């Protein structure tokens, strides 16, 4: 297997994304493109010579062009991880149009537009796109009050994975979707203060790294729960 990979990770500045970037970077053969709004937060990668950081915002109208500009310097992309997530915690009746629009822009539309930008760079050599969803977006799971904007948008990412598969199953580009359970990060602490998740961001980063590098040899178009617990 070719060990040299170009890996794009969106939502790299903290939490699971940060841990995943660090795990990929431990292999010096990989080049990692770390994308997030908070470029200051990504200065933590400055000691990693194989990590290149880019300011990137999913909540703007030109996500596709923004991504195309970043990808232009690379002949091919092997792995794209759509890890960024926006969580609005508000009761359904209080949700504003802005809450709904920004949640869907960051969690769904921005993800699709990033994929549109990356796809031409993946078609020839082949690649794996991993969407990070949530157990809240997985059918039949426990749901939590206040998470309508977040969990419905995460469910849309699951559905997108199946639809993308249908249109690209005859190409070398694979897509899978991981529905995560509780992982100890700033996001979890903000929504469920004091809850202790059984999985650290570093452990989940290890899992995502291994999954992204290997699983598409056997799995394509699948929505996979990755959960020891939900709060
Ligand atoms: N932690 C959990 O228990 C849990 C459970 C289920 C699913 N998940 C999912 O796992 C993923 C990572 O979660 P986490 O807990 O690590 O969250 P986190 O600590 O809040 O990190 C989220 C990341 O997304 C980026 N992001 C948010 N909005 C963005 C935007 N508009 N444009 C670009 N980047 C944006 C943030 O970077 P900037 O602010 O720098 O842009 C940050 O790096 C998310 O998709 C989340 O929904 C987490």
Q: Are 145 and 191 in contact (CB under 8 A)?
A: no
**Chain centroid offset of residue 187 CA:** 14
pLDDT higher than threshold 70 for residue 216: yes
- For residue range 103-121, list pLDDT tens digits in order: 999 999 999 999 999 999 9
pTM, rounded to two decimals: 0.98
- The topology (CATH level 3) of 6-226 is Rossmann fold (3.40.50)
Report the pLDDT averaged over residues 84-102. 98
In this structure, which residue's CA is closest to atom 31 in ligand 1? Answer: 58
Angle at 79 between CA 111 and CA 171, to 5 degrees: 85
**Local confidence band at 54 (pLDDT 50, 70, 90 cut-offs):** very high
What would the two tokens of residue 136 be?
């809240």
Quick one: 91 exposed, middle or buried, by C-beta within 10 A (0-12, 13-18, 19+)? exposed
Q: Which atom of ligand 1 is nearest to the CA of 182?
A: 3
Q: Report the mean per-residue pLDDT for the chain.
A: 97
Q: Are 15 and 187 in contact (CB under 8 A)?
A: yes
- Spacing, Cα 180 to ligand 1 middle (Å): 12
Distance CA 123, CA 137 (A): 29
Cβ of 146 closer than 6 Å to ligand 1, yes or no, is no
In this structure, which residue's CA is closest to atom 36 in ligand 1? Answer: 11
Cβ of 203 closer than 6 Å to ligand 1, yes or no, is no
Distance CA 46, CA 52 (A): 9
Distance CA 126, CA 173 (A): 5
pLDDT higher than threshold 70 for residue 2: no
pLDDT at residue 84 in the model: 98
pLDDT at residue 230 in the model: 84
């Amino acid at each position: 297997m070719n060990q040299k990979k170009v890996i794009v990770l969106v939502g790299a500045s903290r939490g699971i994304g940060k841990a995943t970037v660090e795990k990929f970077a431990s292999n010096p053969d990989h080049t990692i493109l770390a994308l997030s709004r908070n470029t200051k937060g990504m200065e933590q990668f400055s000691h990693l010579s194989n990590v290149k950081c880019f300011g990137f915002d999913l909540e703007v109208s030109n996500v596709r062009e923004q991504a195309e500009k970043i990808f232009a310097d690379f002949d091919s992309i092997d792995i794209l991880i759509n890890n960024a997530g926006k969580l609005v915690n508000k009761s359904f009746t209080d949700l504003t149009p802005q809450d709904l629009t920004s949640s869907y822009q960051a969690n769904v539309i921005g993800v699709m537009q990033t994929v549109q930008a990356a796809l031409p760079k993946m078609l020839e050599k082949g690649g794996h796109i991993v969407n990070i969803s949530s157990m809240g977006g997985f059918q039949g799971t426990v749901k939590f009050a206040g998470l309508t904007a977040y969990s419905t948008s995460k469910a849309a990412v699951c559905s997108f994975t199946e639809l993308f598969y249908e249109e690209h199953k005859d190409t070398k580009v694979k897509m899978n979707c991981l529905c995560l359970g509780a992982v100890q990060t700033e996001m979890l602490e903000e929504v469920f203060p004091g809850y202790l998740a059984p999985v650290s961001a570093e452990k989940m980063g290890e899992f995502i790294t291994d999954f992204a590098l290997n699983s598409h040899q056997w799995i394509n178009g699948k929505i996979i729960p990755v959960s020891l617990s939900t709060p």
